[in-house]
């Protein structure tokens, strides 16, 4: 469901409108049905398997265990909605762990809304990873990958201050990240022999240690170790050229050292259609690569591009995983 006062209801209704006539991959939304009043026809169902029977004529909605306290107002976030937002994530995760759903797509949440209600996780990704771990299905940390504009970009570090990146990067972290990305490219993206590039942390990838030692002491040793295990990973490549190399077909994925280093090229190439997917989970999870867009929700001006792309990517990943 995401935050019901944000863009989630509008883009979900629009996505259903665009997909219901020809989709072979029906989806259901876990939400309070009143969220979709006046947006599209809905039909409540009890479990994901029933979505296929009603998808062509109405958006299938699996109601929350408890109704929202009041009708959400677009553009006006309300902490009272936090329990419903959290329940929607928990139920979707369990459906995927149980095999009742092939994948989950999470609409945007407002961390501020959840934090005010006592939510103890940095965001969706960490919460879902903990839910999987509690169910006995999670054995490694999740890795964020952005897909869009012809690129697949995973992140070695995410939401930390830039000044802390160098001390956070270790060869073990990069080895673990690249191993997870390699396995996901094979299993979820159907690439038999993935080619992965590490970016450098410093300008010109450190120029043999003259503009920083991280490449020489941390990144390249991790790449050498990975290659010794049969994983095709480059030494650190200059970040100002490696994304062009990936677009030219030299690499199937790039692992960026910092959050903005990886997101800037994806969002420049495809601001509206990028997808955030979480690798390393026992389930498939994708999400629009944008926030709750409260202002756009209030204006009823929400674009569904990223949600549509997330639904398509989740479907493709589920198909590849079923064939792996």
Report pLDDT for 23: 77
Residue 144 lies in a domain: no
pLDDT above 80: residue 135: no
**Residues 200, 167 share a domain:** yes
Report pLDDT for 137: 61
Residue 52 lies in a domain: yes
pLDDT band at 60 (very low <50, low <70, confident <90, very high): very high
Q: What is the DSSP letter of 218?
A: I
What value does the mean pLDDT take over residues 250-278?
A: 96
Report pLDDT for 236: 98
The CATH number of whichever domain residue 216 belongs to comes to 3.40.718.10
**Residues 190, 69 share a domain:** no
Residue 318's alpha-carbon distances to 33, 106, 135, 212, in angstroms, are 27, 15, 20, 41
Residue 271 lies in a domain: no
Contact 275, 287 (CB under 8 A): yes
**Residues 297, 188 share a domain:** no
d(Cα 202, Cα 211) in Å, to the nearest integer? 7
**Residues 166, 133 share a domain:** no
pLDDT tens for each residue of 197-243: 999 999 999 999 999 999 999 999 999 999 999 999 999 999 999 99
**Residues 243, 171 share a domain:** yes
Span between the terminal Cα atoms of the chain, in Å: 30
Domain count, the chain: 2
**Residues 170, 231 share a domain:** yes
Residue 97 lies in a domain: yes
Report pLDDT for 256: 98
Residue 33 lies in a domain: yes
Report pLDDT for 139: 57
- Of 300, 29, 254, 11, the closest CA to residue 146 belongs to 254
Report pLDDT for 84: 97
The SS3 assignment for 231 reads coil
240, 265, 290 - which closes a domain: 265
What are the residues whose beta carbons fall under 8 Å from the beta carbon of 69, sequence distance 6 or more?
80, 81
Report pLDDT for 223: 98
**Residues 158, 134 share a domain:** no
pLDDT above 60: residue 102: yes
**Residues 214, 116 share a domain:** no
Report pLDDT for 117: 87
Residue 316 lies in a domain: yes
pLDDT tens for each residue of 139-191: 578 899 999 999 999 999 988 899 999 999 999 999 999 999 999 999 999 99
Residue 272 lies in a domain: no
**Residues 127, 157 share a domain:** no
pLDDT tens for each residue of 26-51: 999 999 999 998 999 999 999 999 99
Phi, psi angle pair for 240, to nearest 5°:
-85, -5
**Residues 292, 173 share a domain:** no
**Residues 161, 214 share a domain:** yes
**Residues 109, 67 share a domain:** yes
Domain range for 23 is 8-139+281-323
What value does the mean pLDDT take over residues 7-14?
A: 98
Q: Where are the extended beta strands (E) located within the chain? A: 29-31, 42-44, 59-63, 104-105, 143-148, 151-155, 195-198, 232-233, 253-256, 275-279, 285-288
Tokens coding 178? 């690249």
Residue 90 lies in a domain: yes
Report pLDDT for 24: 86
């Amino acid at each position: 469901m995401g935050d019901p006062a944000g863009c989630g209801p509008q883009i979900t209704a629009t996505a259903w409108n665009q997909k219901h006539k020809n989709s072979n991959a029906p989806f259901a939304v876990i939400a309070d049905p009143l969220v979709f009043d006046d947006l599209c026809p809905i039909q409540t169902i009890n479990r994901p398997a029933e979505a296929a029977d009603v998808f062509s004529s109405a958006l299938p909605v699996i109601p929350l265990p408890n109704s929202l306290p009041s009708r959400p107002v677009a553009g006006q976030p309300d902490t009272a909605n936090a329990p419903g937002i959290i329940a929607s994530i928990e139920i979707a995760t369990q459906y995927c762990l149980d095999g009742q759903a092939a994948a989950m797509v999470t609409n945007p949440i407002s961390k501020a809304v959840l934090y005010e209600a006592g939510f103890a996780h940095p965001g969706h990704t960490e919460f879902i990873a903990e839910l999987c771990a509690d169910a006995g299905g999670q054995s490694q940390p999740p890795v964020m990958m952005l897909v869009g504009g012809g690129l697949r970009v995973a992140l070695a570090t995410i939401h930390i201050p830039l000044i802390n990146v160098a001390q956070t990067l270790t060869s073990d972290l990069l080895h673990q990240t690249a191993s997870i990305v390699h396995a996901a490219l094979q299993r979820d993206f159907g690439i038999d022999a993935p080619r992965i590039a590490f970016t450098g942390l410093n300008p010109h990838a450190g120029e043999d240690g003259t503009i920083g030692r991280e490449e020489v002491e941390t990144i390249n040793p991790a790449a050498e170790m990975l290659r010794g295990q049969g994983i095709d990973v480059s030494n650190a490549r200059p970040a100002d050229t490696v994304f062009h190399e990936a677009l030219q077909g030299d690499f199937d994925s790039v692992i960026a050292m910092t959050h903005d280093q990886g997101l800037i090229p994806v969002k420049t190439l495809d601001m509206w259609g990028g997808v955030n997917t979480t690798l390393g989970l026992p389930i498939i999870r994708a999400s629009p690569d944008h926030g709750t867009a409260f202002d756009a929700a209030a204006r009823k001006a929400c674009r569904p591009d990223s949600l549509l792309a997330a639904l398509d990517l989740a479907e493709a990943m589920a198909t590849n995983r079923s064939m792996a």
